[in-house]
């Protein structure tokens, strides 16, 4: 099994709905996102997936989120924009274009990460 990991980032604001604490108020993060793709075999060049293509798939989603207020985006309006929900949203968005997506990890800061893996 081969795993390919690429990273991207975006800056966005949000506030958590139905939450009591600081995060119920408007605040922002410089989010870091890791995408892991899994392949059983390599192509004729010897690659699972070209890093350039993997980055393009991830960047295609993170660019739509960058410099936004996640609560108001049409894409995410129905979600409570928690890190967990953002990880699932990014995963589902990439899966529409590449079935080999394995996991998405969304980092709000250097110490806090939520990961989504479909099982």
Query: Which residues are known catalytic residues?
Result: 23, 67, 108
Q: Calculate the CA 74 to chain-centre distance.
A: 17
Cα separation values, 101 from 9, 26, 83, Å:
17, 31, 18
Q: Distance between CA atoms of 64 and 70, rounded to whole angstroms?
A: 10
Helix axes 83-95, 51-65, angle to 10 degrees: 130
Placement of tokens 């060049």 in the chain: 45
**Could you write out the DSSP letters of every residue in 65-87?**
HTTEETTT-TTTTTS---HHHHH
């Amino acid at each position: 099994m081969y795993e390919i990991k690429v990273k991207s980032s975006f800056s966005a604001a949000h506030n958590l709905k139905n939450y009591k604490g600081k995060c119920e108020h408007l605040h922002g993060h410089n989010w870091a996102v890791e995408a892991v793709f899994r392949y059983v075999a390599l192509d004729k060049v010897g690659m699972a997936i070209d890093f350039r293509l993997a980055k393009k798939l991830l960047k295609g989603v993170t660019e739509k989120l960058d410099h936004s207020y996640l609560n108001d985006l049409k894409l995410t309006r129905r979600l409570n924009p928690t890190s967990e929900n953002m990880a699932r949203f990014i995963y589902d968005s990439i899966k529409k274009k590449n079935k080999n997506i394995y996991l998405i990890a969304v980092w709000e800061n250097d110490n806090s990460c939520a990961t989504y893996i479909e099982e």
